[in-house]
């Protein structure tokens, strides 16, 4: 199967750890020029050093709580360097907790980081994609788009909004050779999952190891995903092989989500 990604340019957000980092590495291994985006310069440099050095990789330091500054930096990068064929939107999830106890600030902050930032990045990058006749926008969201997850009230709300934003965008840009799809990770071995395990363990008066095993047992595959397994789905969606896949949600969850 020829993915035909050699010399494509990708912007990968939240790429200093977890799924974002795994995605950046996987794309680079397919010959993609990867631009990392995160707020910690030292961590960005460390990941950059792990990418194949015969490619034109780079990074942008940006804070996703400031979408206008993010947009300005990406536009400046495009003007000085090159545009992007692939954009992977990936940002850390909101704080865990019941929705009734969530503050207005939590909703506003999550909306800014997940909707506003996705939107300004689309506005900054789609003109190049249209010119090239090829574009891929891939949003790393959550299975909560299909089935809300207990104790993730704000996240459930905002992830659903991202899903509807991306579905709407997918219908507007498809005729230009651009697809917009969502990858929905289930329980994946990341710092975010460790946080959720600790919170659930405290609530249920269990040890983190006990809680982790309960969550694994709840998944038909009886294990957590590795970040690389989610990254593989992103790489496929970015490729020519997925050119007619548009506007959909793909759970990478070992069969945990009950809905179709």
pLDDT in tens, 167-223: 999 999 999 999 999 999 999 999 889 988 998 899 999 999 999 999 999 999 999
User: CB burial class (10 A; 0-12, 13-18, 19+) of residue 26?
Assistant: buried
Please say whether the beta carbons of 109 and 154 come within 8 A.
no
Complete domains list, the chain, with CATH: 9-187+225-252 (3.40.50.720)
What average pLDDT does this structure show over 26-53? 96
How large is the average pLDDT for residues 156-161? 96
Q: Write the CA distances from 221 to 213, 246, 251, 254, integer angstroms.
A: 12, 27, 13, 5
pLDDT digits (tens, 9 = 90+) for 80-123: 999 999 999 999 889 888 999 999 999 999 999 999 999 999 99
Which residues are CB-neighbours of 8 under 8 A, at least 6 positions away?
31, 32, 33, 85, 86, 134, 238
Task: List the alpha helices (DSSP H) in the chain.
Answer: 18-29, 41-50, 67-80, 104-111, 117-132, 153-173, 191-203, 208-218, 227-238
**Quick one: angle between helices 18-29 and 41-50, nearest 10?**
40
55 pLDDT band, cuts 50/70/90, is confident
Map tokens 């965008």 to a residue.
Answer: 169
Cβ of 7: how many Cβ atoms within 10 Å? 11
Compute how many other C-beta atoms are within 10 angstroms of the C-beta atom of residue 216: 14
Question: 39 phi and psi, to 5 degrees?
Answer: -95, -10
Q: What is the mean pLDDT of residues 116-141?
A: 98
pLDDT class of 151 with cuts at 50, 70, 90: confident
Asked if pLDDT for residue 54 goes beyond 80, the answer is: no
- Whole-number pLDDT of residue 192: 87
Structure confidence at residue 215 (pLDDT): 95
Q: What's the whole-number average pLDDT of the chain? A: 96
What is the Cα–Cα distance from 210 to 22, expressed in whole angstroms? 27
Looking at residue 144, its pLDDT comes to 95
C-alpha neighbours within 13 Å on the C-beta side of residue 56: 9
Half-sphere CA count of 41, side-chain side, radius 13 A: 1
| Mean pLDDT to the nearest integer, 13-39 | 97
Q: What is the pLDDT of residue 171?
A: 98
Q: Cβ of 92: how many Cβ atoms within 10 Å?
A: 17
What's the pLDDT at 101? 96
The Cα–Cα gap between 129 and 84 comes to 7
């Amino acid at each position: 199967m020829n993915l035909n990604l050699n010399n494509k340019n990708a912007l990968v957000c939240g790429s200093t750890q977890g799924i974002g980092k795994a995605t950046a590495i996987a794309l680079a291994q397919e010959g993609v020029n990867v631009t990392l985006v995160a707020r910690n310069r030292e961590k960005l440099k460390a990941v950059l050093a792990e990418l194949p050095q015969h490619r034109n990789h780079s990074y942008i330091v940006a804070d996703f709580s400031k979408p206008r500054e993010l947009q300005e930096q990406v536009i400046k990068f495009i003007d000085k360097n090159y545009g992007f064929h692939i954009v992977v939107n990936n940002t850390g999830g909101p704080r865990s907790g019941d929705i009734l106890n969530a503050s207005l600030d939590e909703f506003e902050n999550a909306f800014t980081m997940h909707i506003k930032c996705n939107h300004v990045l689309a506005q900054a990058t789609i003109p190049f994609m249209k010119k090239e006749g090829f574009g891929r926008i891939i949003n790393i969201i959550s299975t909560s788009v299909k089935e809300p997850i207990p104790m993730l009230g704000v996240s459930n709300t905002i992830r659903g909004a991202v899903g509807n934003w991306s579905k709407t965008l997918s219908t507007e840009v498809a005729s230009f050779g651009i697809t917009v799809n969502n990858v929905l990770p289930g329980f994946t071995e990341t710092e975010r999952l460790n946080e959720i395990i600790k919170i659930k363990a405290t609530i249920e008066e269990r040890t983190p190891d006990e809680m982790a095993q309960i969550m694994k047992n709840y998944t038909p595959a009886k294990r957590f995903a590795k970040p690389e397994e989610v990254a593989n789905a992103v790489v496929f969606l970015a490729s020519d092989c997925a050119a007619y896949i548009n506007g959909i949600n793909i759970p990478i969850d070992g069969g945990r989500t009950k809905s179709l």
